[in-house]
A and B are shown apart, each in its own frame.
Chain A
Amino acid sequence: AQKITQTQPGMFVQEKEAVTLDCTYDTSDPSYGLFWYKQPSSGEMIFLIYQGSYDQQNATEGRYSLNFQKARKSANLVISASQLGDSAMYFCAMRRPSGGYNKLIFGAGTRLAVHP
């Protein structure tokens, strides 16, 4: 069965420093997609970054990058130059590969606190 594991319930980082949020996944299917979402206290799930299992390069979106290590089944999110507004819950998710649509399986999330 597909599963997403986020082992860090909470993380804190100093403003302007980089932080890595861990995510490991389990699937036997060769084709899958991995997502990271940010959820501030308002509740909205904000899409950050996507990595396909066949993508050769690690995905990057501004200050966000995804450290994709396929053999280790990990997809860690790296946030560079942290800002106070980055304080939020962060969820890693995997797209169920079969069915042709984007059913997502989420991890339990990591709460990030950015300190000034």
Chain B
Amino acid sequence: DTGVSQDPRHKITKRGQNVTFRCDPISEHNRLYWYRQTLGQGPEFLTYFQNEAQLEKSRLLSDRFSAERPKGSFSTLEIQRTEQGDSAMYLCASSSSAGSTGNTIYFGEGSWLTVV
């Protein structure tokens, strides 16, 4: 499978615990994005990486959230001291900056987080 992969697909955690999600983008894609989607809504942008540099962070990304892409390949999204309001699906996406293919953004299957 050469698509965007995310792990874990589902996570149930107790309030106050830390969770980490991993995203492996399509191998030749240098751009990586994280989005959050709550029930009944469209995805909302969280953050963007070009290679290993985090170039934009949404105001939705509070201090409890941190994302990394240390070698410009896979990325992790960590949520510290989870709150019930963090319950959502976290979607990772990737794209290429090269030519017309940069117009296509591919998403993974998402990581569902439930905070109890």
Give me the interface of A with B, judged by CB distance under 8 Å: 4, 33, 35, 37, 42-47, 50, 52, 91, 93, 95, 99, 101-109
Q: Is the interface of B mostly helix, strand, loop or mixed?
A: strand
- Per-position contact with A for B89-113: 1 when CB-CB < 8 Å, else 0? 1010101010000111111111010
Q: Whole-angstrom distance from the CB of A26 to the nearest CB of chain B?
A: 15
The reply to whether A50 and B50 form a contact with Cβ atoms under 8 Å apart is no
Q: Whole-angstrom distance from the CB of A68 to the nearest CB of chain B?
A: 14
Residues of B within 8 A of A101 (CB): 31, 48, 50, 55, 95, 97
The reply to whether A103 and B56 form a contact with Cβ atoms under 8 Å apart is yes
The reply to whether B105 and A35 form a contact with Cβ atoms under 8 Å apart is yes
Residues of B within 8 A of A95 (CB): 103
B28 within 8 A of A: no
Q: Whole-angstrom distance from the CB of B26 to the nearest CB of chain A?
A: 12
B74 within 8 A of A: no
Q: Is the interface of A mostly helix, strand, loop or mixed?
A: strand
Which one, A42, A50, A103, A108, contacts B104 given CB within 8 A? A50
Give me the interface of B with A, judged by CB distance under 8 Å: 31, 33, 35, 40-45, 48, 50, 55-56, 89, 91, 93, 95, 97, 102-110, 112
Known: A101-B97, A102-B102, A108-B40. A45 touches B45 (CB 8 A): no
Q: Whole-angstrom distance from the CB of B38 to the nearest CB of chain A?
A: 11
Given A43-B109, A44-B107, 8 further pairs, Cβ under 8 A:
A4-B42, A45-B107, A46-B107, A47-B107, A50-B103, A50-B104, A101-B95, A108-B41
Residues of A within 8 A of B110 (CB): 43-45
The reply to whether B103 and A103 form a contact with Cβ atoms under 8 Å apart is no
